[in-house]
Amino acid sequence: MTIAIIGAGYVGLPLAIAFANHHSVVCYDINKSRINELKKGIDTNKQHLKKELIKNRLTFTCRHDKIENKDIYIITVPTPINNLNQPDLSMLKHVSLLVGKVMRQNSIIIFESTTYPGCTEEFCIPLIEKTSKLKYKRDFDVAYSPERVNPGDEINTLKSITKIVGANNLKTLKKIKKFYNSICKSIYTVNSIKIAESAKVIENIQRDVNIALVNELGVLFNKLDIPTNEVLKAASTKWNFHYYKPGLVGGHCISVDPYYLAYKAKQKNYLPKLILSGRKINESMGKYVAKQTIKLLSINKKKLSNSNVAILGFSFKDNIPDTRNTKVIQIVNHLQKQKIKVKLFDTIASRHEIKKKYKVDLYNFSNLKKFKYDAIILAVSHKEFLKNLNYYDKFYKSKQNKIFIDVKNNYSSYNLNKNNYKFFQL
């Protein structure tokens, strides 16, 4: 069986590696530098690439002719939002038109890109029909199997997760189930593509709403001078309490998917109040962290324009280099508006990409010692940052006016008190 995977990112590459153990796979991407690195066995996303696999079964390409006439096409392109928080389907449109040009009759197209219910059949398939001159259900079939990639997670991998599959008919569903069973232990089939699309978006919406709840509780408990982390630990001793930590919610899934479902809901004249309220709370947390930092600087009688702040971490998530939709930039921007001097550090994010996309400079963590600070913000819990608090003592301008902002509640508030810190935790 011949397979073309469109997109060589966090979703497409693991699929390409897994399927190449059983089939001939071509992995296509428009990013030439990315493809050239992968051909050499280099992956900046930290996937393990076996050179013998690349040589014998797995091909990386930017050329359209290399993905012509395949049995199966798997689409894994990003589906972000635009400046109005509406779905940006430009990449999905481009790849649907492309697949229509290169596919043959009886090909099966599988979408893994996250989207709103109905998008595959209402938006993508007409585009495929347009360029292929083929008829959906008569000349080709379509399935939807939402990605469940969790970067940095070594337990819930492609092999171990349950894979959802929906298709346009039972015959195709059975075929695709068997196809994915070659790389996944557990397959869960659903009766329609729309069900599979819906399941994907609510997986992330549920997390978004729950994190929004604990973020709001964190704001309240801070006003009440009660340590949020201690409250959550105590409450989690009840058997049916679900433990979520407060924090910054960015990335390409949790902070995006609510807007996709809201977009579809509004088409049906329904306003999903809870979903959008949760998103509004989470969107505000970066600015909230910055304001709390400014408040503590003022308590220390620091002139903001003379203040220096170190921010540790720029990725949207711990221990991965991905900075898509990171909310740390909100902290940076708000502090800089107050003329505060900000130094940004990360251990794995790309300095070049951050400068290009976010217009800010990134320093290597080893350079932290070159400067002195009035406040340190631990924004992302990369393992290299989780030092004993005494480690950070030497980086402050004053031993008596140390401000430590622990965004993800990594340290006990009591330890912070003992070390003479003015501190803030969500």
Listing DSSP states for 19-83 in one string gives HTTTSEEEEE-S-HHHHHHHHTT--TT-----HHHHHHTEEEE--GGGGTT-SEEEE-----B-T
* C-alpha to C-alpha distance for 165 and 174, rounded to whole angstroms: 9
Can 184 be counted among the known catalytic residues?
Answer: no
From the candidates 27, 124, 184, 253, give the one annotated as an active-site residue: 253
Strands (E), 354-396: 363-364, 375-378
Among 330, 181, 189, 194, which residue's Cα sits nearest to residue 250? 330
- HSE on the CB side for 146, CA within 13 Å? 29
Element (H, E) at 343: strand 341-346
**Long-range contacts of residues 218-221, Cβ cutoff 8 Å, at least 24 apart:** 218/246, 218/425, 218/426, 219/288
Positive or negative: CA dihedral 377, 382, 383, 384: negative
Residues of the chain by 3-state class (helix, strand, coil), percent to 5:
40, 15, 40
Listed in sequence order, the DSSP H helices in 64-191 are: 90-102, 119, 125-132, 170-181
Q: Which residues of 11-44 are buried (b: 16+ CB within 10 A; e: fewer)?
A: bbbbbbbbbbeebbbbbbbeeeebbebbeeeebe
Rounded to 5 degrees, what are φ and ψ at 367? -85, 0
Q: Are 19 and 112 in contact (CB under 8 A)?
A: no
* C-alpha to C-alpha distance for 155 and 153, rounded to whole angstroms: 6
Cβ neighbours of residue 133 under 8 Å, at least 6 residues apart?
Answer: none
Would you name the residues annotated as active-site residues?
253
